[in-house]
């Protein structure tokens, strides 16, 4: 099988995208095409692909014996976008990325290098054969490849183990040394990102597709819930702990640049309490450094973790100890005081208790003293 044909099974590849566009130049044409009896199998396969993602089962790649098999993936994306559940998009991104990673593990180096060069425009170079690498220091001999650091940084910051941090990598004239398995992970991570960030206008759906969407919706009932985006209100803000209140006010006023730690703490907190991603971005829009695209990226990244399909997944905002070490706790710094802070170790615990007090109309905080232990003293 030629490299070009082999690439067709990877939906993010340039060849797969070209092949789908050749059959259906846009989504409207795709929907019409799927109505034809000979193409019904595409909807059925796409539905299976979505269902596998939802149930966290491995996705099966089509054989690509039929040139129309390349339309199964875009149809599965169409179904998920029509469903409109961000959690389902996250599950699809996760499952597709996992399968791509598994499939890449069986491919030869040359194929994988060509695949990411043609799909993402990445620059990858070989480090030579094992015998050629014997000149290198022992630690570097296991790296088969190197890639441009700017391409590496498109994906690596979204991985959380320290080994992906650029400061822990060997860097030579802008090239990052990587192992083949790491390149597979970067490619599948990029694929995941493309799904998470991809938005398109959904055309009018045909009867066959509507039925497929309804079947998936029925199967997902109880597993995925459509969260109502939370808007910033005065009541909501009045339950904020002093640290979050200060970060929020500084950000909205836009007269100081929040540090990375401060931005992360505020965004993770707001997203964790259920605020809509766009609302969170609005709060950062007054940032004086106007680095809006970076902020959008950071918020989207934190939000994408939240929507992994399980309610309690995602980033937890830093605890009080961490905020104190980073000079982000105004109570610790002595500029304000709230007695509830003595009984919590995380701003979220503060928020839950204060929101409960507000909902019950409780203004007298003397009941805190009946709690057995203070968790921190100021």
Site residues (CB under 6 A) for ligand SF4? 241-243, 320, 323, 329-332, 341, 344, 347, 350
Tokens encoding 201 = 């206008």
| Closer residue to ligand SF4, CB minimum distance, 158 or 324 | 324
Smallest distance from ligand SF4 to CB 334, Å: 11
Smallest distance from ligand SF4 to CB 352, Å: 11
| Closer residue to ligand SF4, CB minimum distance, 189 or 242 | 242
Smallest distance from ligand SF4 to CB 295, Å: 22
Q: How far apart are CA 201 and CA 27, in angstroms?
A: 9
Q: How far apart are CA 119 and CA 11, in angstroms?
A: 10
Give the torsion through C-alpha atoms of 278, 284, 289, 294, to 10 deg: -40
DSSP strand pairing (171-172 vs 145-148): unpaired
| Closer residue to ligand SF4, CB minimum distance, 198 or 339 | 339
| Closer residue to ligand SF4, CB minimum distance, 175 or 351 | 351
Smallest distance from ligand SF4 to CB 262, Å: 12
Smallest distance from ligand SF4 to CB 127, Å: 47
Smallest distance from ligand SF4 to CB 226, Å: 31
| Closer residue to ligand SF4, CB minimum distance, 31 or 265 | 265
Neighbours of 106 (CB within 10 A): 8
Smallest distance from ligand SF4 to CB 332, Å: 6
Q: How far apart are CA 93 and CA 199, in angstroms?
A: 13
> Do residues 356 and 348 lie in contact, with contact meaning Cβ atoms separated by under 8 Å?
no
Work out the burial of residue 226: count CB atoms within 10 Å of its CB; fewer than 13 is exposed, 13-18 middle, 19 or more buried. exposed
Distance of CA 287 to the CA centre of its chain: 23
| Closer residue to ligand SF4, CB minimum distance, 103 or 245 | 245
Beta-sheet strand order (sheet of 145-148): 124-126, 145-148, 175-178, 171-172
Q: How far apart are CA 304 and CA 298, in angstroms?
A: 10
| Closer residue to ligand SF4, CB minimum distance, 178 or 329 | 329
């Amino acid at each position: 099988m030629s490299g070009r044909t082999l690439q067709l099974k990877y939906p993010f590849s340039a060849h797969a995208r070209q092949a789908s566009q050749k059959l259906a130049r846009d989504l409207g044409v795709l929907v019409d095409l799927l109505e034809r009896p000979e193409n019904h199998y595409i909807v059925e396969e796409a539905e299976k692909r979505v269902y596998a993602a939802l149930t966290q089962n491995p996705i099966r790649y089509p054989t690509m014996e039929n040139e129309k098999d390349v339309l199964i993936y875009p149809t599965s994306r169409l179904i998920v976008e029509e469903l409109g559940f961000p959690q389902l998009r996250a599950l699809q991104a996760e499952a597709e990325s996992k399968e791509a990673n598994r499939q890449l593990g069986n491919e030869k180096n040359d194929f994988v290098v060509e695949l990411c060069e043609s799909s993402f425009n990445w620059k990858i170079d070989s480090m030579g054969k094992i015998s050629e690498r014997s000149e290198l220091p022992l630690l570097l001999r296991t790296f088969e490849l190197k890639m441009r650091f700017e391409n590496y940084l498109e994906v690596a910051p979204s991985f959380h183990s320290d080994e992906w941090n650029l400061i822990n990598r060997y860097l030579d004239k802008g090239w990052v040394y990587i192992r083949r398995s790491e390149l597979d992970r970067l490619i599948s991570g990029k694929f995941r990102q493309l799904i998470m960030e991809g938005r398109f206008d959904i055309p009018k759906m045909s009867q066959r597709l509507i039925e497929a969407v309804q079947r998936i919706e029925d199967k997902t009932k109880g597993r995925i819930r459509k969260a109502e985006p939370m808007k910033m209100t005065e009541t909501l803000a009045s339950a904020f702990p002093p640290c979050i209140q200060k970060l929020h006010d500084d950000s909205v006023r836009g007269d100081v640049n929040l540090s990375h730690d401060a931005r992360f703490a505020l965004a993770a907190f707001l997203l964790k309490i259920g605020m809509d991603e766009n609302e969170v971005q609005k709060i950062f829009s007054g940032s004086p450094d106007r680095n809006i695209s970076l902020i959008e990226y950071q918020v989207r990244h934190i939000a994408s973790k939240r929507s992994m399909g399980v309610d309690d997944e995602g980033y937890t905002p830093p605890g009080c100890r961490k905020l104190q070490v980073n000079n982000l706790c105004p109570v610790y710094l002595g500029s304000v005081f709230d007695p509830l802070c003595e009984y919590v170790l995380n701003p979220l615990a503060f928020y839950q208790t204060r929101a409960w007090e507000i909902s019950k109309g409780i203004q007298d905080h003397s009941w805190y003293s009946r709690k057995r232990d203070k968790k921190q003293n100021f």
